[in-house]
Amino acid sequence: MNKRKEVIKTQIKQIYDDSYQNYGAPKITQILQQNGETIAEKTVGNYMREMGIKAQYVKPYTVTTIDSNFSEELINILNEEFNPAEPNAVWCSDITYIWTYQGFVYLTSIMDLYSREIISWVLSTTLEAKWVIEAIGKAKASRNINKPLVMHSDRGVQVRQEVA
């Protein structure tokens, strides 16, 4: 391997690592060219292939909430009254995703609307209803709940799975 190719491959690896293994040939080529290198995207792609590295694919955003037209199964009994008079009267749940070096993880949390305190949470690698159920179970155990209460959510895909 010639000296120039070695130098370019070292630069490619550095840019790739600095991007947390996210950048592909187009972005790496652009950075190399900004740094004064004369190189084609195809060459960068070939070198990356030789080195066994490739860009990470980030899944595009997908809609996870049911539209605002309430069905018979999902009834709005909270009516936007977000200040309950006592603890453990109304809980709400939400799921958010967090990007890590290994990919996305999902954080499911349960909040008591009275205190605005997160009373349980679960980290998972999938968007499945079982993680919502686990978070609710942990919240019930931590609060020693056995009476009915209002559970509010944005009616995401996990709720749809459980109602169906």
* 80-114 tens-digit pLDDT: 666 777 788 888 888 888 888 878 899 999 998 88
| 13: Cα within 13 Å, side-chain hemisphere | 9
Per residue in 107-144, pLDDT (tens digit) is 999 998 888 999 999 999 888 888 888 998 899 998 88
Q: Are 33 and 44 in contact (CB under 8 A)?
A: no
pTM (2 d.p.) = 0.51
**Tens digits of residue pLDDT in 144-161:** 887 767 776 665 555 444
Residue 38 in this model has a pLDDT that exceeds 60 = yes
Query: Does residue 21 contact residue 53 with C-beta atoms inside 8 Å?
Result: yes
pLDDT grade for 71, boundaries at 50, 70 and 90: low
DSSP 37-97: ----HHHHHHHHHHHT--PPPPPPP---B--SS--SSS---STT----SSTTSEEEEEEEE
- Average per-residue pLDDT for the chain: 81
